[in-house]
Amino acid sequence: MSDQTSLNGPDGPRSPFTNKWFVASGAFLGSVALLGTWVALSGGDNGKAVGSSATAPAGVPAGTPGGNPPGTSAGTPTVGSGTGAPCPQLSDTNQAPLNIGNTFAAGELAWKDFHGYQLPESPSSGPAVRSGEVARCYAHTPRGAVLALAQTSIRSSSADNWRPVIDQQVAPGPERESYLQFVTADRVNPSRPSPAFSTIGQYAAYQVNSYTADTAVVTFAIKFPMGGAYRTVVLTAVWDGGDWKQKMTPNGQQSSSFGQQKTVTDMVPFAVGN
């Protein structure tokens, strides 16, 4: 991918889209820290807006991370079995590498609104279970990994009740604890504006960089209504406890690699077949 840049630095955990490099280039996107709060602050355009306004909760006491009691939600309704229940078997068992000729089947993806962000899902690849704002149970395949990362990267930072999402869908370890602390601090004392309806990005394409039964590394390209280059971010998923979980960096970031590119001709557009 072009223009890939490390995010590790003295400022602590950072979003792929809030590095000073983006600020200097006039393309600063979003929150101080979170991948799931992309906001374009560099002016409007004639592009099509995606979703509606997403608003972070205000005045959440510091002792109540997540905003709502565990198991409750101000967002999506509970669907399927409860927290921690075994995942159902999904029909997607295709382990073949994903490419322009082998992607999601025509009409397979549905795009569902989550606090203004449009997230892809599939009846064959997941998520198969929702409990509050947690969306889990993805196929143990490349398609399942792509959808798990697309969902979890947004839900873990933008859910009203973010603690259960992080507990269940982020891989355990010190990286998760660092990420949880940072999300909680940002949400309790937000230092960012809420994403505007006309500035929220849309997943445009993906590329599976590597895939094994245990680990998937995926690059996502995001298109913003303001136009210009696609923003890219590399995310990692690990198979843990019978599901794909997002693996954070040692600094508790969602990614240590971001970039931009003018086209997605070397990637698989989400629009293919859908």
DSSP structural state of residue 249: P
Per-residue model confidence as pLDDT tens for the chain (274 residues)? 444 333 333 333 333 333 332 322 222 222 222 333 333 222 233 222 222 222 222 222 333 334 333 333 333 333 333 456 899 999 999 999 999 999 999 899 999 999 888 999 999 999 999 999 999 999 999 999 999 999 999 999 889 999 999 999 999 999 999 999 989 988 887 766 665 656 788 899 999 999 999 999 999 999 988 778 899 999 999 999 999 999 999 999 999 888 999 999 999 999 887 7
pLDDT reported for residue 49: 26
Scored b (16 or more CB within 10 A) or e, 6-43 reads ebeeeeebbbbbbbeebeeeebbbbbbbbbbbbbbbbe
Helix (H) or strand (E) holding 176, with range, is: helix 174-188
The whole-model pTM stands at 0.74
